[in-house]
Amino acid sequence: MTEVSIKQFAETLNLSVDRLLTQLGESGIKGKKPNDAISDEEKRTLLAYLKSLHGEKTEATPEKVTLRRKQTLNLSAGSGKRTVNVEVRKKRTYVKKAETAPETVVEEAIPEIEETVNEEAVATPVVAAQETPAVVEQTQQAQAEKKENPVSAKGAETDGESSSGAPMPPKEDHSKAAKKQKDQKHHESRKKNDGEDGLRAKTKKPPVKGRKVIADDDVDASGRRGGKGRKKGLAKKALNDHVFQKPTAPVIKEVKVPESITLSALADAMSVKSGEIIKYMMMNLGTMATINQILDQDTAMLIVEEMGHKPVAFTETTIEDEVTAQEYNGATVKRSPVVTIMGHVDHGKTSLLDYIRKAKVAFGEAGGITQHIGAYHVDTNMGGLTFIDTPGHAAFTAMRARGAKVTDVVVIVVAADDGVMPQTKEAIQHAKASGVGIVVAINKMDKESANPERVKQELVAEEVVPEEWGGDVQFVPVSAKTGMGVDELLDAISLQAEILELEAPTEGPVKGVVIESRLDKGRGPVATVLVQVGTLRKGDIALCGMEYGRVRALVGDTGDMIDEAGPSIPVEILGLSGVPVAGDEMITVESERKAREAAMFRQAKNKELKIARQQKSKLDNMFNKMAEGEIQNINIILKADVQGSIEAITDALVKLSNDEVKVNVIASGVGGITETDANLALASEALIFGFNVRADASAKRIIDNEGISLKYYSVIYEIVDEVKRAVEGKLAPDFREDIVGIADVRDVFKAPKIGAIAGCMIIDGSVKRNNPIRVLRENVVIYEGVLESLRRFKDDVNEVQKGMECGIGVKDYNDVRVGDQIECYERIEVKRTLD
């Protein structure tokens, strides 16, 4: 090994030669001169001396050793002309190792120190004696480092508090070693926070002698002092606890994209800033997004993919799955059929339902007050029947629209004196489409003009063939007025149900459908539920669409309180958190917590979907506007008190259509505005007009929630006038340009930051700052744009009148010349009328 001189060694250690000679003398190596060589043996002796010196001293010294270091920095201030002396004082206190330090730690740590020192002493004699413990610490760090990486450790040099160092062979990589040392220190300070022992054990770095060793038992599992179980935890932590490593390649993340997600949440999921997504959307999708914007799944997936990550479509249905994954497979029993009565207007649906109800439902005391609950149950000789007490298509379509299959048998009522009418055909289509059994009731048989044969013939044309003609549909002549044939009708329905072999379990989880709902002043939210599976009991926890609650009371179709309701039994339930929507599914859930969570989840999802849908419709509108020349539609749903009004209004409205705007009455009918109308308006972006009719509560709820346009009228002229105005509004307006002022350019100044400013005289009208302008040169338009500035003297002004001088800056145009004219104009929108 090449020997170095004492002088060189002192230089390496950044010590004075005299000090090193003194230390050598104290360690027993006397008579040395600066140019004498220092052997490895001597270095080792010196190290041993210093080690014993510090080691013994720490035992003898007080509990704490505090090191102070003062450093004066000469800093230049301001533009560099002044210098300031800054005194930096650093203080470091080391606490003496606890006498009671547990054996385990000592066993782990101390031998390592010995081993390291002994092995490395030859190559790593140290030291600056006056900075004892820190010096030792640094030296040992360097040694440990060298052990791991001899090359880089060779240059280990201290920074900060001590000035010790290790002797290095020539050609050392100082900067690298210093960096490593710094990293090491950083690591060390992290360890101090995280708990030292585990990491030290792992990296085999010696603990600082004289520093208090934190015992395993002294620290709890969470890393706080004073607990047990730390050793294991820290050892594990040490494995994972690394200094931050900057990734060298792009990190590709698998990003779960739910059905809708806010932009900020998506940014979090990708570990990027929201601004990056906003920027991406602006540059690539042409959309100005905000941080809280809700993105639909497709858009979010596209963004994730384009930003280099891997999108995974994800549906948050865990809670949903949990509550809906119930098995309804208990022992089944025969259940009553559920019957809906449909037919054309005025053919007697309500009369028939009322007749059956009055004749067959045995009202209880309270039930005498004829509060309809949306469905009722009757017992016949052939078994029970449940009638949905809302005639017509409304309820049926609302249920179907929500995917709820409630009805087993449809009774199509046809007035014997009127025959098959449009809504009769519609009812047939509905019934056939949903695959339910059909029974035809030929009503108003008491009337003289009744002609059942004609009805049969007309129905055959609709492929509803009576049994006596070889078909499979039972035809029953009835009179809702006299009650004639009603029993036969009920028998026919029961027979039809027999064929369907309707069964359902009576025990286990309960499932049903909300038929009607309302908010009762005294009782709160009330929902009429038709139980389909199981038996609903008081105290059960129900989840109804987006609402939930413990069933507080059950009210039967007679108005009496009941304790339970089995399959095909309609019942009013009280105790829900809010009013559910007709067609919502009701299930029972085992715990209120689960029901609440599921309801919250559904509400949140519904809200998100609503916002997403609104945004989509806004976008759609934009595209509609952008697509020039495309025909625009005004969709109308018209409800009126009488058929005559509907025809008159529809005729007048349709005539308002022209080449650009088309007025479509997409649905019309006699009667109040129902939920079906509201749903249809929502789906087809239609306006709802009520002519002498009003919307019911459930329709109002949808209309309010979804922002559907609803207007009531009582004069036909007004409704037509309103639509006419809407059509005019939809016609692309004409624009007229009015020149409001002309300025003569008399001079041109160049302003350093603004560019060219035209010194002008207003020769006509006035020039306004917000108006668009044109620059004219010899009466030819050479530039069109807007004003950047309008000034009188030094003041910014909004308007300059004729005869006044002003300075005009034209935005993005610097070529204004003397003699040009600046013409200021206004674009005026001229509404087109149909007249």
Known binding site for GTP: residues? 343-350, 389-393, 443-446
The C-alpha atoms of residue 15 and residue 129 are separated, in whole angstroms, by 10
From residue 390, how far is each of 199, 262, 343, 374, 505 by CA, in Å? 75, 42, 12, 6, 27
Tokens representing residue 721 in the block:
């006038």
Q: Which CB, 449 or 779, lies closer to ligand GTP?
A: 449
Looking at residue 406, its amino acid is V
Binding residues: 343-350, 389-393, 443-446
Q: Which CB, 389 or 408, lies closer to ligand GTP?
A: 389
Q: How far is the CB of 413 from ligand GTP (least distance, A)?
A: 6
Contact 386, 376 (CB under 8 A): yes
Q: Which CB, 391 or 567, lies closer to ligand GTP?
A: 391
Tokens representing residue 204 in the block:
């085999």
626 contact partners, CB below 8 Å, separation of at least 6? none
Q: Which CB, 495 or 670, lies closer to ligand GTP?
A: 670
The C-alpha atoms of residue 262 and residue 290 are separated, in whole angstroms, by 9
Angle at 687 (CA atoms; ends 682, 689), nearest 5 degrees: 125
Q: Which residue is nearest to ligand GTP (CB)?
A: 348
Q: Which CB, 642 or 697, lies closer to ligand GTP?
A: 642
Question: DSSP letters along 287-355, please?
Answer: ----TTPEEEHHHHHHHHHHTT-EEEE----HHHHHHH-----S-EEE---EEEEEESTTSSHHHHHHH
| Chain centre distance of CA 665 | 37
Phi, psi of 318 (to 5 degrees): -60, -50
Q: How far is the CB of 309 from ligand GTP (least distance, A)?
A: 57
The single residue listed with the structure tokens 């499979």 is 472
Q: How far is the CB of 407 from ligand GTP (least distance, A)?
A: 17
Q: Which CB, 342 or 702, lies closer to ligand GTP?
A: 342
Q: How far is the CB of 354 from ligand GTP (least distance, A)?
A: 7
Q: Which CB, 177 or 646, lies closer to ligand GTP?
A: 646
The C-alpha atoms of residue 713 and residue 355 are separated, in whole angstroms, by 34
Q: Which CB, 44 or 481, lies closer to ligand GTP?
A: 481
Q: How far is the CB of 579 from ligand GTP (least distance, A)?
A: 25
Q: How far is the CB of 693 from ligand GTP (least distance, A)?
A: 12
User: Shortest CA distance to 243 belongs to which of 296, 279, 190?
Assistant: 190
Question: DSSP letters along 553-581, please?
Answer: EEE-TTS-EESEE-TT-EEEEE--SS---
User: Shortest CA distance to 676 belongs to which of 665, 687, 667?
Assistant: 667
Q: Which CB, 105 or 431, lies closer to ligand GTP?
A: 431
Q: Which CB, 32 or 447, lies closer to ligand GTP?
A: 447
Q: How far is the CB of 637 from ligand GTP (least distance, A)?
A: 17
Q: How far is the CB of 343 from ligand GTP (least distance, A)?
A: 6
Phi, psi of 731 (to 5 degrees): -70, 135
Q: How far is the CB of 376 from ligand GTP (least distance, A)?
A: 16
From residue 660, how far is each of 44, 665, 719 by CA, in Å? 101, 17, 20
Contact 656, 727 (CB under 8 A): yes
Angle at 54 (CA atoms; ends 181, 17), nearest 5 degrees: 70
Q: Which CB, 428 or 790, lies closer to ligand GTP?
A: 428
Q: How far is the CB of 419 from ligand GTP (least distance, A)?
A: 14
Q: How far is the CB of 428 from ligand GTP (least distance, A)?
A: 15
Burial 594-625 (b: 16+ CB within 10 A, else e): bbbbbbebbeebeebeeebeeeeeeeeeeeee
The C-alpha atoms of residue 287 and residue 279 are separated, in whole angstroms, by 9
Q: Which CB, 191 or 347, lies closer to ligand GTP?
A: 347
37 strand-pairing partners: 5
Interface with ligand GTP (CB under 6 A): 343, 345-351, 391-392, 443-444, 446-447, 479-481, 670
4 strand-pairing partners: 38
The C-alpha atoms of residue 792 and residue 795 are separated, in whole angstroms, by 5
Q: How far is the CB of 344 from ligand GTP (least distance, A)?
A: 7
From residue 214, how far is each of 30, 60, 63, 231, 727 by CA, in Å? 41, 21, 15, 11, 83
